Chains A and B, each alone.
Chain A
Amino acid sequence: MYSREEKPGSMACAGKSIIGLTVNGQLYKLEIGAEAGKVDPSDTLSFTLRETLGLTGTKESCDSGACGACTVLMEGKAVLSCMLLTVECDGKSIVTIEGLRNPQTGELDILQQAFIDHTAFQCGFCTPGMIMSAKALLNENPSPTEEEVKMALSGNFCRCISHYQVIEAVMDAAKKGR
Chain B
Amino acid sequence: MSEAYRYIGKATPRIDGEEIVTGKAAFLNDLKFQNLLYGKVLRSPHPHALIKKIDVKKAEQVKGVKAVITHETMPDWKNGNPPIRLLDKKVRFVGDAVALIAAETERIAEEAKKLIEVEYEILPAVLDDYEAMKPGAPQIYENLPGNLLPLGIPNRKWATEIVTGDVNKGFEEADVVVEEAYAYDNIPGPGFPESPAAVALWEEPNTVTVWVSNHKIWRNKHELSVTFGNDVKVRVIGGACGGSYGSKVMSIQVQCYAAALSKATGRPVKVSLSKEEQLSTFVLRPATRLHAKVGMKKDGTVTAIAGSWVLGTGYYSMTTQVQLGVGCGEAMIAVRCKNWDVKPAIVCTNRNASGIVRGFGGQELKCALIPILSHAMEKLSLDPFEVLKKNFVKPGDGYYWRNAEWYDYRGIDYSRAMDEGAKVFGWKDKWKGWLKPTAVKGAKRIGVGVGIHGNADVGEDVSETHVRLDNDGRVVILAGLAEHGTGQRSNVVKVVAEVLQLPLERISISPGDSMVTPFEWGPAGSRGTYAILGAAIAAAEDAKNKLFRLAMPMLGADDPKDLETSDGIIWLKSDPQKRIEWEKVLRFRTVLGYGRFEEDYSLSNCMMSFVELQVDTETGKVDLLRVVNATDVGQVIDPHGLQGQLYGCLGSAGIDSAVFEETIVDPTTGCILNSNLIDYKWRTSAELPVIDNVVLETPIDTHRFHAIGVGEITTSPGPSAVLMAASNAIGQWLHEYPVTPERILKALGKIGRNIQKKEGGR
Contact mask for chain B residues 460-503; partner A; CB cutoff 8 A; 1 contact, 0 none: 00000000000000000000000111110000000000000000
CA distance A153 to B24 in the complex (A): 22
Contact, CB under 8 Å: B23 / A96: yes
Contact, CB under 8 Å: B275 / A123: no
Known: A124-B242, A161-B648, A163-B685. A1 touches B106 (CB 8 A): yes
Contact, CB under 8 Å: A60 / B243: no
B308 within 8 Å of A (CB atoms)? no
Number of interface residues, chain A, beta carbon within 8 A: 59
Q: How far is the CB of A4 from chain B (nearest CB, A)?
A: 5
Known: A156-B685, A164-B688. A57 touches B274 (CB 8 A): no
Contact, CB under 8 Å: B485 / A160: yes
Contact, CB under 8 Å: B640 / A108: no
B686 within 8 Å of A (CB atoms)? yes
Chain A residue numbers with a CB within 8 Å of B649 are 161
Question: Which residue of A125, A151, A167 is within 8 Å of B243 (Cβ)?
Answer: A125
B648 (CB) vs chain A CBs: closest residue: A161
CA distance A118 to B639 in the complex (A): 10
Contact, CB under 8 Å: A115 / B21: yes
Contact, CB under 8 Å: B676 / A125: no
CA distance A9 to B477 in the complex (A): 54
Contact, CB under 8 Å: A61 / B26: no
A2 within 8 Å of B (CB atoms)? yes
A100 within 8 Å of B (CB atoms)? yes
Known: A64-B275, A157-B677. A119 touches B487 (CB 8 A): yes
CA distance A163 to B643 in the complex (A): 11
Contact, CB under 8 Å: B688 / A62: no
Question: Which residue of B275, B640, B648, B686 is within 8 Å of A151 (Cβ)?
Answer: B686
B559 within 8 Å of A (CB atoms)? no
Residues 180-201 (chain B) with a chain A CB within 8 angstroms: 190-195
Contact stretch, chosen from A25-33, A84-92, A126-134:
A126-134
CA distance A57 to B25 in the complex (A): 8
Known: A123-B485, A159-B192, A161-B650. A56 touches B685 (CB 8 A): no
A2 (CB) vs chain B CBs: closest residue: B106
Contact, CB under 8 Å: B193 / A158: yes
Contact stretch, chosen from B10-18, B605-613, B744-752:
B10-18
Chain B residue numbers with a CB within 8 Å of A96 are 23
Q: How far is the CB of B629 from chain A (nearest CB, A)?
A: 12
Question: Which residue of A4, A66, A69, A97 is within 8 Å of B22 (Cβ)?
Answer: A97
Contact, CB under 8 Å: B644 / A162: yes
Contact mask for chain A residues 57-89; partner B; CB cutoff 8 A; 1 contact, 0 none: 111111110110100000000000000000000
CA distance A5 to B17 in the complex (A): 38
B27 within 8 Å of A (CB atoms)? yes
Q: How far is the CB of A81 from chain B (nearest CB, A)?
A: 13
Chain A residue numbers with a CB within 8 Å of B243 are 122-123, 125, 159-160
CA distance A137 to B684 in the complex (A): 17
Known: A108-B18, A161-B650, A164-B647. A154 touches B685 (CB 8 A): yes
Contact, CB under 8 Å: B641 / A158: no
B52 within 8 Å of A (CB atoms)? no
Chain A residue numbers with a CB within 8 Å of B652 are 159-160
Tell me if B's interface is mostly helix, strand, loop or mixed. loop
Known: A116-B13, A164-B691, A167-B685. A122 touches B648 (CB 8 A): yes
Chain A residue numbers with a CB within 8 Å of B564 are none
CA distance A61 to B676 in the complex (A): 11
Known: A66-B677, A119-B14, A158-B193. A124 touches B644 (CB 8 A): no
Contact mask for chain B residues 650-663; partner A; CB cutoff 8 A; 1 contact, 0 none: 11100000000000
Contact, CB under 8 Å: B195 / A61: yes
Contact mask for chain B residues 89-129; partner A; CB cutoff 8 A; 1 contact, 0 none: 00000000000000000110010000000000000000000
Contact, CB under 8 Å: B676 / A66: yes
B110 (CB) vs chain A CBs: closest residue: A3
Known: A1-B274, A97-B22, A108-B21. A122 touches B686 (CB 8 A): no
A65 (CB) vs chain B CBs: closest residue: B678
Contact, CB under 8 Å: B23 / A116: no
CA distance A108 to B24 in the complex (A): 13
B3 within 8 Å of A (CB atoms)? no
Chain A residue numbers with a CB within 8 Å of B644 are 119, 122, 160-162, 165
Chain B residue numbers with a CB within 8 Å of A122 are 243, 485-487, 644-645, 648
Q: How far is the CB of B685 from chain A (nearest CB, A)?
A: 5
Question: Which residue of A5, A60, A64, A163 is within 8 Å of B688 (Cβ)?
Answer: A163
CA distance A98 to B24 in the complex (A): 8
Q: A59, A117, A126 — which one has the most chain B CB atoms within 10 A of its CB?
A: A59
B340 within 8 Å of A (CB atoms)? no
Contact, CB under 8 Å: B22 / A57: yes
CA distance A113 to B191 in the complex (A): 28
B514 within 8 Å of A (CB atoms)? no
A150 (CB) vs chain B CBs: closest residue: B685
Name the 3 nearest CB pairs between A and B, nearest first.
A57-B23, A125-B242, A122-B485
Q: In the complex, given contacts A59-B194, A163-B647, what are 14 additional A-B residue pairs having Cβ atoms less than 8 angstroms apart?
A: A50-B30, A57-B22, A57-B23, A62-B275, A64-B678, A115-B20, A118-B640, A119-B487, A119-B640, A121-B17, A123-B483, A125-B240, A126-B193, A151-B686
Spell out A's residues near B (CB within 8 Å). Answer: 1-5, 50, 55-64, 66-67, 69, 96-98, 100-101, 108, 112-113, 115-119, 121-128, 131, 149-151, 153-167
30 A-B pairs with C-beta separation under 8 A: A3-B107, A5-B107, A50-B30, A59-B194, A59-B242, A61-B195, A62-B677, A69-B193, A101-B22, A108-B21, A108-B22, A112-B22, A121-B485, A122-B487, A123-B241, A123-B243, A123-B244, A124-B16, A124-B20, A124-B240, A124-B485, A126-B193, A150-B685, A153-B685, A155-B684, A157-B193, A159-B245, A161-B649, A163-B647, A163-B688
Spell out B's residues near A (CB within 8 Å). Answer: 11, 13-14, 16-27, 29-30, 106-107, 110, 190-195, 240-245, 272-275, 483-487, 640-641, 643-645, 647-652, 676-678, 682-686, 688, 691
